[in-house]
Amino acid sequence: MMSFLKAAGRPLLGALLLMLATLCAATSNNNLAKPTAAQVVETTVIESVTFTTDLGDVTFKLHRKRAPQSVANFLAYAKSGFYNGTIFHRVMPGFVVQGGGLTFDFVKKATREPVINESIGGLRNKRATVAMARLPHPDSATAQFYVNLSNNRQLNADKKTKAPGYTVFASVVEGMSVIQEIARQPRGQFRAYPDAPNIAVRILATQLNPSGS
């Protein structure tokens, strides 16, 4: 009798195992069909970034094809919220408005490794373009950026000598009036930062705008 039960149990056990395998496969297929939120974020192409400042919103359209490394670098900071709370600390009317690295009390934020210079063969420093600020070394740009207030040819790479310039990675597509308003702010109150507005103009929030939004 016992032998009969064992023999009869084998087909039943096999059927149960087959059902479990089918259920696992179905669950696996569902997981593949529905990517996680993290996967969705990773595969979303960000077309522009909007900064909310004390004087209004400014939107930068990214030029990924012309400056891929600089755009990736800028987005890494933007996605992490790095720019929130930073100020526009260097304002030179008719030239540039620079920010993205100092807090309202002029403390420099810790940055990532510098990004490679992409100015040779890149976009020109024309009015309303956005470029990476840097030190004298060409490959020293980190988080800070500036908006050109005019056509600044002296900041471009030299085609003849191949001397690098400043990498343009974006353009202001909305809010250039806000940038101009920043440029009109009174300056000179802070001895260490004479080009900073007397009343701090901060980046309050960062919004990532996907393609087609």
Secondary structure element (H or E) that encloses residue 14, with its range: helix 2-33
- Tens of pLDDT along 79-137? 999 999 999 999 999 999 999 999 999 999 999 999 999 999 999 999 999 999 999 99
30, 120: one domain: no
- Tens of pLDDT along 29-50? 444 344 433 333 446 899 999 9
134, 160: one domain: yes
183, 84: one domain: yes
d(CA 163, CA 160): 8
What tokens does 64 get? 């990924």
Structural domain containing residue 23: 2-34
pTM of the complete model: 0.80
What CATH number has the domain bearing residue 61?
2.40.100.10
17, 98: one domain: no
- Tens of pLDDT along 71-88? 999 999 999 999 999 999
Sequence-separated (6 or more) residues with CB below 8 Å from residue 182: 53, 55, 88, 91, 97, 197, 201
131, 51: one domain: yes
102, 189: one domain: yes
157, 52: one domain: yes
- Tens of pLDDT along 145-202? 999 999 999 999 998 899 999 999 999 999 999 999 999 999 999 999 999 999 999 9
d(CA 90, CA 100): 10
**Count of domains forming the chain:** 2
Secondary structure element (H or E) that encloses residue 37, with its range: helix 37-43
Question: What are the φ and ψ backbone dihedral angles of 134, each rounded to 5 degrees?
Answer: -155, 175
DSSP 194-206: TTSBSS--BEEEE
103, 204: one domain: yes
53, 25: one domain: no
